Structure 1
């Protein structure tokens, strides 16, 4: 069997003291370092997870902002097209209106010039007719009956043109 002698007791006491010393000076500091290291690793993993989640959130926000920007740019382009079309139609209608006014003015001017030309031609024709009548009457001035007709003709022609002084 086992004999208990003093050396065994000293060995057991030495082992217990050695265990307590190791526990105090080795196991506790090593366990503290291990716990700190474990905590640091856990914090690092937590920070990495938080950073990854934040990055995912930022990515989602940027994608949402990008799609919003695309929609907004599309709306801006559509609005610009609509405004350009509206401006085009306004300018076109103004041009058509001005062209219509110019055409109407040109027609009026042509009518006035035509009327003036007709008046001028009538005056010239009347003058030529009067000269022809005067020549005819001068040849037959001997006959007093013809002179009365001549004077009556000249009066009628003069009144038609507002010119009563005929020589």
Structure 2
């Protein structure tokens, strides 16, 4: 059978003691270090996941804020366009009104000047007619002299009135 000698017993005791020492001084600390590292890695993954979730929320908030800002800028631009269009229409309307009043004023001025000129011409014609009549009355009364005075009168009146330009618009 098997023979048990003391060397074998010592070897078994040595192995058990070595196992207990290794377990106490090596395996337990290494296991604890590995456990701590495992917890650190899990915490890192958890923190990374939390950060990723937070980043996704912030991205969503920024996108919503950006869309809101875009909508606000479009509203402001549209409002500015409407305001500019209204101002443009007002300025064009005022310019049209001013132009109309200037044209009416110019027409009135031309009419007044025309009437004034016509009155001046009528008074000059009347003066020339009186002067011609006085010359005819003081003259001899022969037909040729009367005819020459009449021709002279026509020449003077035609020269004074602008060669018969009594056209009215």
1:88 equivalenced with 2:88 (yes/no): yes
Aligned twin of 1:118: 118
Show CA shifts across 1:62-81 (max 9, x none): 21122112112211221221
1:72 equivalenced with 2:105 (yes/no): no
The 1:134/1:57 distance shift into structure 2, 3 A limit, reads same
Aligned twin of 2:127: 127
Show CA shifts across 1:131-159 (max 9, x none): 23213332489xxxxxxxxxxxxxxxxxx
Aligned twin of 1:22: 22
Aligned twin of 1:145: none
The 1:123/1:68 distance shift into structure 2, 3 A limit, reads same
Task: Give the TM-score normalised by the residue count of structure 1.
Answer: 0.71
Aligned twin of 1:150: none
Show CA shifts across 1:105-155 (max 9, x none): 1012112101111111110121122123213332489xxxxxxxxxxxxxx
Aligned twin of 1:101: 101
Distance (whole Å) between structure 1 residues aligned to residue 13 and residue 86 of structure 2: 104
Gaps of 5+ in 2: 142-169
Q: CA deviation at 1:61?
A: 1.9
Higher relative contact order (CA closer than 8 Å, sequence separation 6+): 2
Task: Give the TM-score normalised by the residue count of structure 2.
Answer: 0.70
The correspondence of residues 137-148 of structure 1 with structure 2, limited to 5 A, is: 137-139=137-139
Distance (whole Å) between structure 2 residues aligned to residue 48 and residue 82 of structure 1: 50
RMSD value, Cα:
2.7
The 1:15/1:85 distance shift into structure 2, 3 A limit, reads same
Distance (whole Å) between structure 2 residues aligned to residue 3 and residue 29 of structure 1: 39
Aligned twin of 1:147: none
